[in-house]
């Protein structure tokens, strides 16, 4: 599994319209091959900075979506709201931590990639 973080800086004053648009666009990708989950976040200290964090089965699934005509169409819909180009970061999970009743978190899963 990989995790993709997409960072977008939205033009001040267009945050609400952006959120409505991205919400509907996220629903459109839910049936993409390899897509597992997606969440949209807003930075609490910089209210015009938004992040989409998605999980994909593998890098190939993400790259096919990233390079697809459908995604390009989606980016064209978002372009009027953005101050600059989005930034994508692709992460491969090596170790996962979860809070335990004990004082310190311990690794719960380790993955190879």
Say yes or no to pLDDT of 9 above 80.
Answer: yes
Tell me what the mean pLDDT of segment 6-24 comes to.
94
Given a contact cutoff of 8 angstroms between Cβ atoms, the answer to whether 77 and 21 are in contact is yes
CATH number at residue 50: 3.30.70.100
In a domain, 74, yes or no: yes
Say yes or no to pLDDT of 110 above 60.
Answer: no
Say yes or no to pLDDT of 108 above 70.
Answer: no
Per-residue pLDDT at 113: 43
In a domain, 30, yes or no: yes
In a domain, 98, yes or no: no
In a domain, 14, yes or no: yes
In a domain, 47, yes or no: yes
Q: What are phi and psi of 19, to 5 degrees?
A: -60, -40
Residue 26 CA to its chain's centroid (Å): 10
In a domain, 113, yes or no: no
Q: Which DSSP string corresponds to 26-91?
A: HHHTTTSTTEEEEEEEE-SSSTTEEEEEEEESSHHHHHHHHTSHHHHHHHHHHGGGBSS--EEEEE
Buried b / exposed e along 36-62 (16+ C-beta atoms within 10 A): eebebeeeeeeebbbbbbbbbeeeebb
In a domain, 61, yes or no: yes
Per-residue pLDDT at 76: 94
Q: Which has the closest alpha carbon to 90: 27, 7, 32, 33?
A: 7
Q: Encode pLDDT of 32-84 as tens digits.
A: 999 999 999 999 999 999 999 999 999 999 999 999 999 999 999 999 999 99
H helix or E strand, kind and range, residue 100? none
Residue 25 pLDDT grade (very low, low, confident, very high; cuts 50, 70, 90):
confident
Query: Domain of 68?
Result: 2-92
Domain count of the fold of the chain: 1
Whole-number percent of the chain with pLDDT over 90: 71
In a domain, 99, yes or no: no
Residue 14 pLDDT grade (very low, low, confident, very high; cuts 50, 70, 90):
very high
């Amino acid at each position: 599994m990989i995790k993709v973080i997409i960072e977008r800086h939205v033009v001040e004053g267009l945050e609400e319209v952006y959120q409505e648009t991205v919400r509907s666009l996220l629903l459109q990708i839910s049936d993409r091959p390899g897509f597992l989950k997606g969440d949209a976040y807003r930075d609490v200290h910089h209210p015009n900075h938004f992040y989409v964090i998605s999980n994909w089965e593998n890098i190939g699934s993400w790259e096919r979506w990233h390079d697809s005509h459908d995604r390009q169409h989606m980016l064209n819909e978002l372009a009027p709201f953005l101050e600059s180009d989005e930034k994508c970061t692709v992460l491969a999970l090596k170790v996962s931590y979860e809070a335990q009743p004990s004082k310190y978190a311990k690794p719960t899963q380790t993955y190879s990639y």
